[in-house]
């Protein structure tokens, strides 16, 4: 018989243990609870005292037919949840859901000479790894690799971009740029000019006299004049 695994005690188990430990301290209750867990305090012939199927503690069944298996509704609910999880696990293990067939299932790869049992699957899958080509294509590819190796590798040609619009013959070509303007921007906007008549007055209003004095000292220090 395996070792009993206890869980959080249910309401029925707590109520049953109260009649043995009520009014006692924690130190006094500890040996009594140990005896209670071993089943030494109750009458062994009393069939209404049983262990809860979920939490594992002793409790008393007060139902009419004495058919309950758990001490409270929480333990009953948790036991049902655990049973459903076990049933789903057994179903996945013993009767798994059939896997959808794929094209690769038509490829017998585990033999010494693999082959396809379906031509459609071979065409849809095989072309990704065995691309058909002309008989002399491999030799042309190897020849191109050898030429590029002897020439020092592939070098991109130098291209000078004529930003002035002139081509190699020196002819200026015009480039047409199409710009679509919205209807509201058909008229030019108002152009405003700003002229700073008194820069010091503007800086005083924007930064203040203290800030300007501090920046003036910093400018003299950075310019090399240590007498600030």
pLDDT tens string 64-118:
999 999 999 999 999 999 999 989 888 877 877 788 889 999 998 888 888 889 9
* CA–CA gap between residue 106 and residue 127 (Å, rounded): 15
- The residue assigned the tokens 């501090």 is 214
What pLDDT sits at residue 39? 83
pLDDT band at residue 1 using 50, 70 and 90 as cut-offs: very low
41-67: b (≥16 Cβ within 10 Å) or e: ebeeeeeebbbbebbbbbbebeeeeee
Average pLDDT over the chain, rounded to an integer: 81
Look at residue 133 in the predicted model and tell me its pLDDT: 75
Q: Give the model confidence (pLDDT) of 65-77 as tens digits.
A: 999 999 999 999 9
**pLDDT of res. 219:** 83
Task: Check pLDDT > 60 for residue 10.
Answer: yes
Residue 183 DSSP label = G
- Percent of the chain whose pLDDT exceeds 90: 21
Instruction: Provide the pLDDT confidence category of residue 155 given band limits of 50, 70 and 90.
Output: low
Give percent above pLDDT 70 in the chain: 79
Give residue limits of the domains in the chain: 11-94, 100-152
Q: 177-194: per-residue pLDDT in tens?
A: 566 666 665 666 777 776
Which residues have a Cβ under 8 Å from the Cβ of 162 and sit 6 or more positions away?
none
C-beta separation of 37 from 55 below 8 A: no
Higher pLDDT pick, 189 / 49: 49
User: What average pLDDT does the segment 33-39 reach?
Assistant: 86
Q: Which residues contact 153 (CB under 8 A, 6 or more apart)?
A: none
User: Can you tell me which residue has the tokens 């690769």?
Assistant: 104
Q: CA separation (Å) from 28 to 7, 14, 18, 102?
A: 23, 17, 13, 68
∠ Cα 139 145 150 (to 5°): 125
pLDDT at residue 156, as a whole number: 62
**Distance separating alpha carbons of residues 59 and 42, to the nearest angstrom:** 10
- Would you say residue 161 has pLDDT above 80? no
Question: Phi/psi zone of residue 33: left (φ > 0), alpha (ψ -120 to 50 degrees), beta?
Answer: alpha
């Amino acid at each position: 018989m395996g070792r009993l695994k206890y869980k959080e005690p249910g309401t029925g188990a707590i109520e049953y243990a109260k009649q043995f430990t009520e009014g006692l301290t924690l130190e006094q209750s500890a040996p009594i609870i140990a005896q209670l867990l071993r089943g030494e305090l109750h009458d062994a012939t009393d069939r209404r005292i049983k262990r809860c199927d979920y939490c594992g503690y002793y409790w008393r069944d007060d139902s009419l037919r004495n058919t309950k298996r758990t001490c409270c509704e929480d333990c009953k609910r948790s036991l049902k949840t655990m049973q459903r999880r076990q049933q789903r696990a057994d179903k996945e293990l013993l009767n798994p859901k059939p896997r959808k067939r794929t094209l690769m299932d038509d490829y017998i790869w585990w033999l010494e000479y693999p082959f396809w049992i379906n031509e459609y699957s071979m065409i849809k899958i095989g072309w990704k790894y065995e691309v058909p080509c002309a008989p002399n294509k491999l030799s042309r590819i190897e020849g191109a690799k050898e030429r590029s190796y002897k020439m020092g590798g592939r070098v991109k040609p130098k291209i000078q971009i004529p930003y002035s619009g002139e081509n190699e013959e020196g002819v200026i070509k015009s480039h047409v740029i199409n710009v679509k303007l919205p209807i509201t921007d058909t008229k030019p906007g108002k152009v405003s000019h700003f002229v700073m008549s008194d820069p010091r007055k503007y800086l005083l209003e924007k930064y203040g006299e203290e800030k300007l004095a501090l920046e003036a000292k910093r400018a003299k220090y950075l310019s090399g004049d240590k007498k600030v």
